[in-house]
């Protein structure tokens, strides 16, 4: 096995750090995220408040750390839903072709014709806001691109002769999908999945920013940036901490996905 490129390793470490920081927010954050510090409104960064305080007298750093939980949860949950539904659909459609494939492709076409944001907004407008609902909405949105990628990888694999050999042995469909196709398809799926996580985090942030995602007083990066708009000139630090945190997270996830694509792609089959 070759060593993964340094970018992947670096991104992996950064991401791990973020996950740890978010998970361990209870211990790492200097203050609870909704604690009001009566005296210090809109305090610029100082030793007591490393990232300053916001207009409700809450510590920005703590809120940023807690905010990580929501974003990461959204990213992972939405992608998880997308994978759970999209991968089997893609595998089946790519392997069986026929009517199922045609119907799926038309359905995917329709879903992917919707601008992503609008689709999610639509779903959310219909239901009361909440993190769970957002995750499900984004997850449903993701089924389409994940199914599409899985399907195209499957189409590619189906022409390989070891699949035909499996059929010549009379293997059952479930065996072929599970043990012959999937193990060879998962690299592409992993890459797509990591890109989806990044996209989910961004989408969640935009939703919160527009006011349709998580509601106050929860600490969420998009929400924090939205609140900071009014104080952009007087208290720029309100936007900087959450913005930087989100950017770093998404960059790390993207780099990871990109690097994985390069690392896993070169004919994992034969390297002679």
Partner 1 sequence: MTLYFVQRLAAVAGVITLMSVLVFLATHALPATIAEVMLGQYATPETVAALETKLGLTRPLLTQYWEWASGVLHGDLGRSLVMEVPIVPVLWTALGRSAVLGATAMTVVSVLGIALGVVAAVRHGRVIDHLASGFTIVGLSVPEFFWGLLLILLFGSYLRLLPTSGYGKLDKGAGSYVAHLVLPVATLAIGLLAHVARLTRSSMLEALDTAYVKAARARGLPEWAVVTRHALRNALLPTITVLAQDIGFLIGGIVAVETIFAYPGIGRLLVYALERHDWPLMQAAILVLTAVQCLANLAADLLYALFNPQIRYGRAVA
Partner 2 sequence: MTPLLALRDLTVTYATEAGRLTAARAVSFDLAAGEALGLVGKSTIAGAILDLLGDGATVEGDILFESVDLSELDAKRRRKLLGHRIGAVFQDPFTALDPAMTIGRQIAEPLVEHLRLRPKSAMERACELLADMGIDQPRRIAAAYPHQLSGGMRQRALIAAAVACEPPLLVLDEPTTALDVTVEAQILSLLAELRQRKQVGLLFISHNLAVVRKLCDRIAVLYASQIVEEGAAAEVLRRPLHPYAKGLIASLPPLRPAERAARLPSIGGRPAGLAAPPSGCFFHPRCAFAEPRCRAEAQTLLDVGSGHSVRCWKYDATGNWPSGAPPGLTRIWAADGTLVRAVALRKRFPAVRGLAALNLDWSGRLPRLRYRPTYTIAVDHISLSIDAGETLGLVGESGCGKSTLGRLLLRLIKASSGTAEFAGADVQRLKGRALRRFRQGAQIVFQNADSSLNPRLSVGEAIGRPLYLFDGGTLAERERQVLELLDMVQLPRSYRRRYPFQLSGGERQRVAIARALATRPRFIVCDEPMSALDVSVQAAIVNLLADLRDAFGLAYLFISHDLAVVAQLAGRIAVMYRGSICELGSARDVLCSPRHPYTQALLAALPATARERVSGCSPFRARHSFCTGRRPGRLPFSGALSA
Binding site for partner 2 (CB under 8 A): 2, 159-162, 164-165, 167-171, 180, 183-184, 268-272
Task: Return the biggest CA–CA distance within the chain.
Answer: 77
**Alpha-carbon distance 103 to 131, whole Å?**
31
Q: Which of 74, 189, 239, 241 binds partner 1 (CB under 8 A)?
A: 239
Q: Are 75 and 204 in contact (CB under 8 A)?
A: yes
Burial of residue 56 (CB within 10 Å: 0-12, 13-18, 19+) is middle
Judged by CB under 8 A, the stretch of 60-68, 87-95, 253-261, 264-272 that binds partner 1 is 253-261
Name which of 6 and 27 has its Cβ closer to partner 2: 6
**Alpha-carbon distance 262 to 94, whole Å?**
24
Q: Are 87 and 150 in contact (CB under 8 A)?
A: yes
Least Å from the CB of residue 262 to partner 2: 14
Task: Answer yes or no whether residue 197 interacts with partner 1 by CB under 8 A.
Answer: no
**Alpha-carbon distance 116 to 160, whole Å?**
34
Residue 20 contact among partner 2, partner 1, none, beta carbon within 5 to 8 Å by kind? none
Among 129, 151, 147, CA closest to 139: 147
Among 140, 251, 143, 119, CA closest to 192: 143
Name which of 174 and 272 has its Cβ closer to partner 2: 272
Task: Answer yes or no whether residue 246 interacts with partner 1 by CB under 8 A.
Answer: yes
Q: Which of 205, 214, 218, 241 binds partner 1 (CB under 8 A)?
A: 205
Task: Answer yes or no whether residue 243 interacts with partner 1 by CB under 8 A.
Answer: yes
Question: Contact residues for partner 1 (CB under 8 A)?
Answer: 109-110, 112-118, 121-123, 125-126, 128, 198, 202, 205-206, 209-212, 222, 225-226, 228-229, 232-233, 236, 239, 243, 246-247, 250-251, 253-255, 258
């Amino acid at each position: 096995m070759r060593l993964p490129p340094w970018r992947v390793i670096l991104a992996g470490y950064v991401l791990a750090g973020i996950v740890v920081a978010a998970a361990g927010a209870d211990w790492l954050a200097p203050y609870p995220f909704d604690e009001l510090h009566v005296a210090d409104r809109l305090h610029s960064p100082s030793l007591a408040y490393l990232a300053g305080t916001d207009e409700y007298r809450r510590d920005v750093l703590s809120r940023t750390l807690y905010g990580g939980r929501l974003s990461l949860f959204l990213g992972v949950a939405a992608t998880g839903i997308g994978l759970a539904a999209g991968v089997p659909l893609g595998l089946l459609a790519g392997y069986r072709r026929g009517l199922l494939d045609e119907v799926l492709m038309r359905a995917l076409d329709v879903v992917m014709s919707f601008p992503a944001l609008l689709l999610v907004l639509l779903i959310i407008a219909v239901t009361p806001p909440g993190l769970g609902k957002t995750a499900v909405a984004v997850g449903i949105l993701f089924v389409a691109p994940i199914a599409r990628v899985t399907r195209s990888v499957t189409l590619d694999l189906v022409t390989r002769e070891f699949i035909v050999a499996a059929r010549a042995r009379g293997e059952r469909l479930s065996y072929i999908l599970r043990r012959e196709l999937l193990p060879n398809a998962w690299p592409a799926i992993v890459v797509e999945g990591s890109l989806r996580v990044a996209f989910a985090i961004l989408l969640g942030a935009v939703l919160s920013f527009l006011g349709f995602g998580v509601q106050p007083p929860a600490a969420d990066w998009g929400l924090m940036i939205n609140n900071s708009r009014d104080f952009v000139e007087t208290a720029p630090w309100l936007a900087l901490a959450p913005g930087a945190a989100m950017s770093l997270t998404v960059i790390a996830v993207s780099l990871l996905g990109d690097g994985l694509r390069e690392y896993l792609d070169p004919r994992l089959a034969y390297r002679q």
